[in-house]
Amino acid sequence: MYIYINTISFAMPLEAGTLVYVNYVAKIKDTNEVIDVTIEEEAKKLGVHDPSRKYEPRLIAVGEGWVLKGLDEALASANIGDKISVEIPPEKGFGQRDPSKVKMIPLRKFGEKASEVRIGDEVEIDNKIGIVRFIGSGRAQIDFNHRLAGKTLIYDVEIIRKVETDRDKIISLIKRRIPVEEDKIELTIEDDSAKIKLPSDLYLLEGLQIIKRAVSNDIFKFVKNVNKVYFIELYEGKKTTAQEQEKA
C-alpha cells in the first residue's frame, strides 16, 4: 500500500477511536473511474454529480473499520489538516476476485421477470447481490463478487477536523445513522445522561427502534462521560377552540 502525505503539521498521529470528518475522491487506479466523492463541486467537475445526493464530509472513527482497511491504516498515520493520497490494493480494499462466486443460474429462478433480465443488471438471488455477466441457453451467469473486487483504488483524502466535544460527538453519531439536519435535533447533556428529541416526522422511520439502539451503543463507545441515553418522543394534540366547538 502506497501513502503520500502532504503536510506541514507536527502533531501526533490520530489515535484509534478518534472521530474525524474527511473529504475524499475515490477512483479505480487503472481506469480513473470515480467511485465515490464527498464534495459537490468536485462531483460536478468530474461529471459524476447526483442531484438526489447530499454531499458532505464523512464521519470516520479511526481504526474502527468504518472504511476500507487500507484507508483506515493510512488515517492512523495522519494528522488533522493533512491531505493524503492512498493507493489501496485489493487485499486491503474489496478483496481479490473469487472465481467460485461466479454462478450459472436458470432464468426460471427469476420467475415472471425472467424476460426482463439484461447483461449488466444488478440482481438479488438467495439474499446475495450479483451482476449479470452473460445470458444464454436459458441461463444467466451471475457474478457475486463485489464490483470492485480485484481493483486497486486511489483515495485522495483531506482530514478536515477532529470531533472534540461530547455534544459534537453525539450529534455526529446521530446524523451518521439518521437522516436529520443538526438544527432539528434537540440534545441535552446532564451529568452522565444524554436526552435526545428527534423531529416527529421521523417517528415512523423504518427500523427506528433498531437505529436508536445502534446510536446509543455508538454514544456509549465514543462518549465516555455518557452512560444513559433517552430518546424523547413528544405527541401534541390540537386544542379545539370554543368557536370551533360551536361550529361542530
Q: Give yes or no for residue 248 having a pLDDT over 70.
A: no
- Reported confidence tier of residue 178, pLDDT bands at 50, 70, 90: very high
Quote the CA–CA distance of 70 and 129 in Å, as a whole number: 24
Q: Give yes or no for residue 90 having a pLDDT over 60.
A: yes
pLDDT of residue 237: 84
Q: Which domains, from first to last, does the chain contain? A: 1-95+148-163 (3.10.50.40), 99-143 (2.40.10.330), 165-248 (3.30.70.2210)
Query: Grid coordinates representing 229?
Result: 441515553
Quote the CA–CA distance of 174 and 226 in Å, as a whole number: 14
pLDDT digits (tens, 9 = 90+) for 200-219: 999 999 999 999 999 999 99
- Residue type for position 82: D
Mean pLDDT of 121-126: 92
Question: Cα–chain-centroid distance for residue 247?
Answer: 52
DSSP 204-223: T-TTHHHHHHHHHHHHHHH-
CA end-to-end span of the chain, whole Å? Answer: 74
Quote the CA–CA distance of 120 and 231 in Å, as a whole number: 44
